[in-house]
């Protein structure tokens, strides 16, 4: 496929069709597990035609990603009230993003760990499931004693596990250059703030320094 090619109406239609067939299949089976043949078969055309519209499989995928990214951004902007306070705007954007991503769930699922290879989905999930369970129990205890705000314990637990996961990710991917100790301390504060029942409790908890386990790993094995 050459760089600039004049598409007729029918051409545009075909291309869109291939795009959406691919999106469905990607969502269903993942990127790697979807063959070009599958895409063209679903569209009911011959394999060669695929390369009339796309450089290759990767180029098609990229087009899909870019398109969704633009849509998400438009949705966010539409949901934000420009006269509201910053915190309110963040909240609006957050909720709108969640909804948008849920509507396009199959596509966004594509961009994830567990779609990498469905075969590993279970193994990978067990890890966070355990972590979530532990955390949920702690949260329930905290709610009972009034230290943690009274919200869905399961969801709050997912928040903690999630925070660990993505701050770790951001660190690995170089999105933040902060030292790991600084980052760990920050995330500690972050989860405490998001869970604490009131600011008095948050302040109390945060006033106690946390020890680095590596420094005192002499006790119980």
Residues that bind DNA in the complex, under the rule CB under 7 A: 5-11, 14, 34-37, 44-49, 51-52, 56-58
Q: Is there a contact between 17 and 39 (Cβ–Cβ < 8 Å)?
A: no
Which two tokens mark 189? 């504060």
Q: At its nearest, how many Å lie between its own copies and the CB of residue 109?
A: 5
36 touches its own copies by CB under 8 A: no
Whole-angstrom Cα distance, residue 151 to residue 60? 42
Query: What residue 48 binds from its own copies, DNA, none (CB within 5 to 8 A, per partner kind)?
Result: DNA
DSSP string, 17-85: HHHHHHHHHHHHH-STT--HHHHHHHHTS-HHHHHHH-SSHHHHHHHHHHHHHHHHHHHHHHH--TTS-
Q: At its nearest, how many Å lie between its own copies and the CB of residue 122?
A: 10
User: Which of 28/137 has CB closer to DNA?
Assistant: 28
Instruction: Give the footprint of its own copies on residues 136-195 (CB under 8 A).
Output: 138-139, 141-142, 145, 147-149, 151-152, 154-156, 158-160, 162-173, 175-176, 178, 180-181, 183-195
Query: What residue 49 binds from its own copies, DNA, none (CB within 5 to 8 A, per partner kind)?
Result: DNA
Q: At its nearest, how many Å lie between DNA and the CB of residue 21?
A: 13
CA distances from 151 to 91, 142, 187, 193, 198 (A): 17, 11, 20, 14, 13
25 touches its own copies by CB under 8 A: no
């Amino acid at each position: 496929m050459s760089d600039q090619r004049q598409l007729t109406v029918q051409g545009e239609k075909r291309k869109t069709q291939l795009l959406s067939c691919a999106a469905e299949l990607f969502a269903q089976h993942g990127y790697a597990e979807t063959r070009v043949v599958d895409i063209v078969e679903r569209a009911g055309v011959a394999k060669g035609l695929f390369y009339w519209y796309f450089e290759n499989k990767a180029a098609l995928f990229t087009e899909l990603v870019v398109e969704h990214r633009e849509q998400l951004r438009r949705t966010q902007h539409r949901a934000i009230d420009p006269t509201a306070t910053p915190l309110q705007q963040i909240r609006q954007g957050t909720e709108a993003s969640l909804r948008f991503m849920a509507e396009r769930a199959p596509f966004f699922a594509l961009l994830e760990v567990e779609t990498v290879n469905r075969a590993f989905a279970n193994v990978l999930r067990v890890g966070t499931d355990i972590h979530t369970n532990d955390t949920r129990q702690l949260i329930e205890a905290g709610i009972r004693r009034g230290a943690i705000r009274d919200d869905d314990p399961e969801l709050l637990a997912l928040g903690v596990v999630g925070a660990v996961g993505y701050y770790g990710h951001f660190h690995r991917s170089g999105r933040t250059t902060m030292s790991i100790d600084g980052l760990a301390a920050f995330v500690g504060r972050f989860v405490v703030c998001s869970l604490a029942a009131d600011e008095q409790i948050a302040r109390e908890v945060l006033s106690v320094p946390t020890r680095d386990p590596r420094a005192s790993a002499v006790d119980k094995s």
